[in-house]
Amino acid sequence: MTAAEIREAGRELAERALELPELAAGRTVAAYVSVGGEPATLPLLEALRARGVRVLLPALLPDNDLDWGEYTGPDSLEQIRHSGKMALFEPSGARLGPDAVTGADVVLLPGLAVDAHGTRLGRGGGSYDRVLARLERAGARPRLVVLLYDTEVVARVPAEAHDRPVHVAVTPSGVHCFPGARPVS
């Protein structure tokens, strides 16, 4: 996809996501800044912030776990190159600790694909598997939403015992709900 197509998909994805009741009622949303060819998330982050939602963004730790910081606008981001990994946009302010995500009403997750059961295929680093396990241990029950392109909603993806299904997938053209997805805890 061209940069213009990625931006347009991000704008459409934000429109669809903002229609979700989960995001309309959410006070705190854990999100992420897209990289590479992922659907652009900045339009959604800005729209959430404009609504008065507290937006938390991840910061990658050396062990691939995630710390969290607050997004206060594009100027609150810094590009960090982690050894052997792609450069990521992370919050430049104070770190809130890995457990900060447990206070989120909604967790927006990146992914490569999701299937008809809500099983999300990630990049394989395990960062979000750790986040989902942390939510489960804490008894937190945020809505889990994956942001994807339309072609990334597929019939089946490989699943492992530790995988937790998402509740909703948002694509530029629509919303896919997975009623069979069990709660995080």
The pLDDT tens digits of the residues spanning 83-135 come to: 766 789 999 999 999 999 999 999 999 999 999 999 999 887 889 999 999 99
d(CA 182, CA 185): 8
Burial class (CB in 10 A: 0-12, 13-18, 19+), 14: buried
Residue 184 has pLDDT above 70, yes or no: no
Burial class (CB in 10 A: 0-12, 13-18, 19+), 129: middle
Q: What is the pTM of this model?
A: 0.93
Average pLDDT of the segment spanning 147-165: 90
* pLDDT at residue 146, as a whole number: 96
Terminal CA-CA length for the chain: 37
d(CA 88, CA 66): 12
Residue 145 has pLDDT above 90, yes or no: yes
Q: Which residue has the higher pLDDT, 63 or 125?
A: 63
92-126 burial, b at 16+ Cβ within 10 Å, e below that, comes to eeeebebebbbbbbbbbbbbbbbbeebbbbbeeee
Which tokens is 93 given? 């302010």
What value does the mean pLDDT of the chain take? 91
What class has domain 3-177? Answer: alpha beta
Lowest-confidence pick of 39-43, 70-74, 156-160: 156-160
